[in-house]
Amino acid sequence: MRIKEHPILTFPEKKKIWFTFNGQKVFGFSGDTIAAALHALGVMTLSHSLEMKRPRGFYCAIGNCASCNMIVDGIPNVRTCVVSLKEGMVVKTQTNKGDLNDI
């Protein structure tokens, strides 16, 4: 969900950026990070824990904690909270440490 009214900040309409999330075509806006765009779409689970496969969302949103690592354009362990969204990106939920065979 996007903030529409704010007493201090303004959020002018920006260019739509289309990307794929787990096979589904969705969009965010220019200036979004991948994680911000997904959160605005209501997606909270970005990865799964390695052993128990428990769902993980982001925690820090500034590139420290690795909780938001996803597979982006075939590359695993991308910190989606600091990587800007680009047209046509292919984003997938990550469930392992990242495997060379997945690339």
Partner 1 sequence: MIFKDLVIIGGGPAGLSAAKIAAEAGVSCLIIERDPFLGGQLIKQTHMFFGSEKQYAKTRGLDIAKILIDDCLKHQDLIEIMTSTTVVGLYKDKVITTLHDDTYNKIKAKSIIVSTGASERFFAFENNDLPGVYGAGAVQTLMNVYGVKPADKVIMVGSGNIGLIVSYQLHQAGVKVLKVIEAASNIGGYKVHASKIRRIGIPIETRKTIKRAIGKDKVEQVEIVSLDDDWNIVDNSSEIIDVDAVCISVGLIPQRNLLSMIDIKTKFIKELGGIVPIINEDHQTSDKDVYVCGDVSGVEEASSAIVEGYYTGLIAARNLGKEHQDFKTLNIDYKNQLLNLRSGPFGKKTLKGLEIMKEDANVK
Residues in touch with partner 1 (CB under 8 A): 1-3, 5-9, 11, 31-33, 36, 39-40, 44-46, 49, 54-65, 75, 81-84
- Cβ closest to partner 1, residue 45 vs residue 99: 45
Closest separation between CB of residue 24 and partner 1, Å? 17
Q: Which residue is associated with the tokens 């982006």?
A: 72
Closest separation in Å from C-beta 59 to partner 1: 5
SS3 94: strand
- Specify the 3-state DSSP secondary structure of 25: strand
- If residue 34 lies in a helix (H) or strand (E), which one and from where to where? helix 34-40
